[in-house]
Amino acid sequence: MAWRWLRAARAMGMGRRRGWSQALAFAAEQRATLVNVKLKWVKDRALDGAVSRERHLRAAHHLLDVVSARPGHRISRPELLADSSVRRAFGGADGVDAFLARYHTLFALLRGGGGGVVSLTDAALDLRRREVDCLVESEPDLVSRLRRLLMLTLPRSLPLHTVDLLRWDLGLPRDYRASILRRYPEHFALDQPEGDERVWLRLLSWDDGLAVSELEKSAAAGGDTTCLPFPVSFTKGFGLRSKCVNWLKEWQALPYTSPYADPSGLDRRTDVSEKRNVGVFHELLHLTVAKRTERRNVSNMRKLLGMPQKFTKVFERHPGIFYLSRVLGTQTVVLREAYGGGSLLLAKHAHPLATIREEYSAVMRAALPPRRRWRRRESDSCSEQDEECEGGEEFEFTE
């Protein structure tokens, strides 16, 4: 194609030197243009297991929040059922009662006059106290990660609805608007632009010290960061055609653009631009507690992150960096490098809050009948038909 362009340029009377330089520039651009690479999806049982272990954990945590906020960490059953957030989350009294009965290792339901009382078990109380201590101790880290999330966006702001979707993944407390945002007025502000029904969380202070990606931090001290490659690993049995191997090597050697840098100068049709897109999600997943989030949580952030149409296709195009888990009725994007081929976070990536959540999940699994616990331990993951692993009643939970 470059040679055709060159011949046309000569025919138009352009000089030899000028024609050559433009032709070479054109050819270079074509080499940088996205190629049609299609990589298959291969199930990763270990990473599916990591996602499956949090089955029902968010629902349990919601009840833990409500019960532990009451004096003595106990609440009457009628009062619990009257809570609008509980009704919305579980769809009614029957759903709440079934959940409390199933996870008796976390909740104790004392029947009696007045409809009964719900309290926390000793195991739940211990974990809850440790979780609160962890949130207090790690608050500076939480604030930094929230600032970095806003710094990834072009307007340095996000709709509160989007932040709410990421709240669990970021480790934000349920009352973060009062407990976090109001305590740091020098960093955060809530705005409602004219003509917009949404309330936005806006960043007030940029920090160059925070605008360093995890990939840049992991590079050798003082080393060159202009062409950083991403850590890549594949599920056992994953095969790459030679065309894909060659493309991946060339793509890894392309210039690396910091996710905190202005991307306006990049051509969205090129591999260099796609490497920047991958870098944004690589950084975003690093900001989460468990180094994963549901795909739908970022689907409405395209313009805010400066992404092209169908931007989440990078997850399918780069299965060595991201894994798309399809368990639990949704698609969860997992950062592969954080798990090192297993189902547990590597020590260097394990946030203290993630460790406590694993312990919550273990206490919940202890409530299952022995045979079901054995099946969970043996498989360490669920298939697409999740009920084959967990068994029993399913709970619809909507925050």
In this structure, the answer to whether residues 180 and 71 fall within a common structural domain is: no
In this structure, the answer to whether residues 163 and 200 fall within a common structural domain is: yes
332: pLDDT confidence band, cut at 50, 70 and 90?
very high
Q: What is the pLDDT of residues 157-175, one digit of tens each?
A: 999 999 999 999 999 999 9
Q: Which ranges of 193-313 does DSSP label H, i.e. alpha helix?
A: 214-218, 242-252, 271-286, 302-305
Q: What is the mean pLDDT of the chain?
A: 85
| Residue 134 predicted with pLDDT over 50 | yes
In this structure, the answer to whether residues 112 and 155 fall within a common structural domain is: no
Task: State the pairing for strand pair 157-159/200-203.
Answer: antiparallel
Pick from 46, 325, 295: nearest CA to 169: 295
Q: What is the pLDDT of residues 210-222, one digit of tens each?
A: 999 999 998 866 6
The pLDDT, as a whole number, for residue 86 is 92
Q: How far is CA 373 from the centre of its chain?
A: 28
Task: State the pairing for strand pair 332-335/322-325.
Answer: antiparallel
Task: State the pairing for strand pair 107-110/157-159.
Answer: unpaired
Percent of the chain, pLDDT > 90? 66
Q: Which ranges of 12-92 does DSSP label H, i.e. alpha helix?
A: 16-31, 45-52, 57-68, 77-82, 84-90
What is the number of structural domains in the chain? 2
In this structure, the answer to whether residues 300 and 359 fall within a common structural domain is: no
Contact present, 339 and 291 (Cβ < 8 Å): yes
For residue 111, tell me if it sits in a domain. Answer: yes
Task: Write out the residue range of the structural domain in which residue 72 sits.
Answer: 57-102+104-130+353-366
The pLDDT, as a whole number, for residue 20 is 39
310: pLDDT confidence band, cut at 50, 70 and 90?
confident
Pick from 86, 95, 94: nearest CA to 62: 86
The pLDDT, as a whole number, for residue 114 is 76
For residue 42, tell me if it sits in a domain. Answer: no
The pLDDT, as a whole number, for residue 372 is 58
23: pLDDT confidence band, cut at 50, 70 and 90?
very low
The pLDDT, as a whole number, for residue 37 is 66
Distance CA 198, CA 191 (A): 9
For residue 29, tell me if it sits in a domain. Answer: no
In this structure, the answer to whether residues 285 and 332 fall within a common structural domain is: yes
Q: What is the pLDDT of residues 61-105, one digit of tens each?
A: 999 999 999 999 999 999 999 998 998 889 888 999 999 999 999
In this structure, the answer to whether residues 196 and 111 fall within a common structural domain is: no
112: pLDDT confidence band, cut at 50, 70 and 90?
confident
In this structure, the answer to whether residues 76 and 161 fall within a common structural domain is: no
| Residue 370 predicted with pLDDT over 80 | no
For residue 332, tell me if it sits in a domain. Answer: yes
In this structure, the answer to whether residues 335 and 361 fall within a common structural domain is: no
In this structure, the answer to whether residues 181 and 292 fall within a common structural domain is: yes
| Residue 147 predicted with pLDDT over 80 | yes
| Residue 13 predicted with pLDDT over 50 | no
For residue 19, tell me if it sits in a domain. Answer: no
| Residue 197 predicted with pLDDT over 80 | yes
In this structure, the answer to whether residues 121 and 270 fall within a common structural domain is: no
In this structure, the answer to whether residues 118 and 61 fall within a common structural domain is: yes
Over residues 284-293, the mean pLDDT reads 98
For residue 28, tell me if it sits in a domain. Answer: no
The pLDDT, as a whole number, for residue 7 is 41
Helix, strand or coil, per DSSP, at residue 138: coil
| Residue 9 predicted with pLDDT over 50 | no
The pLDDT, as a whole number, for residue 236 is 82
In this structure, the answer to whether residues 77 and 183 fall within a common structural domain is: no
The pLDDT, as a whole number, for residue 241 is 76
Q: Which residue has the tokens 């339901």?
A: 109
| Residue 179 predicted with pLDDT over 60 | yes
| Greater pLDDT, 171 or 31 | 171
